[in-house]
């Protein structure tokens, strides 16, 4: 887990607890029926929205979102350029020996198809289909947390309405109005907390991780296709650098010159 995610997750909940404790007794924010209403309702409606097979993958999705190794795009470009140099110097068949030392199966699959003489259009089609399937899987994981962020506050509001109805039934006893209103509002608090301190931030993080991996694999596809077509390594490098922000591309150019 990177430092940004640690600071964001722990810092958010620490601020919430600090605000709760500043009011005196933290116990006033704990109401078991409200917890059951909001958290239970959010979970059950999530099961209604998605097949169980999708939800079983959530632990793995979370692990990938927080603990997946960050992709080094610059190193990827350098590796692809080096493969292009080998293919240019010794022929594309020589890359078969290089694949033994490559850990990324997506790169290995693309280069192996090129070595086997597969039609370029078919190589690109197969790799892009695999990328599209990856994007679909990521979209499902993200949508689960987006659903939780959408329905959590809704169940908080439902709990508030239930609490208000109960409170209005006790209008004859003024001493019960204050505590009744507090219990009614606490469910809205729980719903907002689930959405804004858990579900929606995780959905955004998964979306960011997905975008990074899609970029990474897109660069691989373009690199493999350039190698397959026999492009000059310098041309391959220039093609792939277009995926980098200007600052990173300039820094990479400076390193090459040095």
In a domain, 186, yes or no: yes
Give the rounded percent of residues in the chain with a pLDDT score beyond 90: 54
Q: Which structural domain, as residue segments, surrounds residue 123?
A: 72-242
In a domain, 206, yes or no: yes
In a domain, 107, yes or no: yes
In a domain, 82, yes or no: yes
In a domain, 25, yes or no: no
Q: Domains in the chain: how many in total?
A: 1
**Contact between 221 and 131 (Cβ < 8 Å):** yes
What is the pLDDT confidence band of residue 43, given thresholds at 50, 70 and 90? very high
In a domain, 55, yes or no: no
Q: List alpha helices for the chain, DSSP H.
A: 3-22, 32-35, 41-49, 52-55, 58-67, 73-90, 95-98, 105-115, 120-168, 177-194, 200-228, 233-241, 246-257
In a domain, 48, yes or no: no
In a domain, 181, yes or no: yes
Query: Mean pLDDT throughout 173-196?
Result: 82
The pLDDT assigned to 53 comes to 83
- Give pLDDT tens digits for 136-164: 999 998 999 999 999 999 999 998 988 88
Is the model more confident about 119 or about 248? 119
């Amino acid at each position: 887990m990177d430092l940004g995610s640690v600071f964001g997750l722990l810092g958010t909940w620490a601020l919430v607890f600090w605000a709760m404790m500043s009011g005196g007794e933290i116990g006033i924010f704990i109401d078991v029926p409200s917890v059951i209403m909001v958290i239970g309702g959010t979970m059950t409606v999530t099961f209604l929205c998605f097949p169980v097979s999708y939800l079983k993958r959530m632990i793995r999705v979370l692990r990938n979102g927080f603990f997946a190794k960050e992709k080094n795009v610059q190193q990827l470009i350098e590796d692809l350029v080096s493969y292009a140099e080998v293919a240019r110097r010794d022929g594309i068949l020589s890359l078969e020996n290089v694949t033994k030392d490559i850990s990324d199966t997506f790169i290995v699959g693309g280069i192996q198809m090129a070595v086997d003489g597969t039609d370029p259009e078919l190589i690109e089609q197969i790799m892009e289909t695999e990328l599209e399937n990856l994007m679909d899987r990521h979209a499902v994981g993200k949508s689960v947390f987006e659903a939780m962020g959408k329905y959590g506050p809704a169940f908080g509001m439902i709990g508030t309405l239930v609490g208000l109805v109960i409170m209005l039934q006790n209008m004859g006893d003024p001493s019960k109005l204050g505590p009744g209103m507090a219990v009614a509002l606490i469910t809205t608090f729980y719903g907002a907390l689930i959405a804004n301190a858990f579900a929606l931030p995780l959905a955004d993080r998964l979306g960011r991780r997905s975008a990074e991996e899609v970029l990474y694999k897109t660069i691989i596809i373009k690199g493999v296709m350039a190698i397959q077509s026999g492009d000059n390594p310098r041309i391959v490098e220039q093609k792939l650098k277009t995926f980098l922000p200007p600052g990173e591309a300039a820094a990479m150019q400076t390193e090459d010159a040095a």
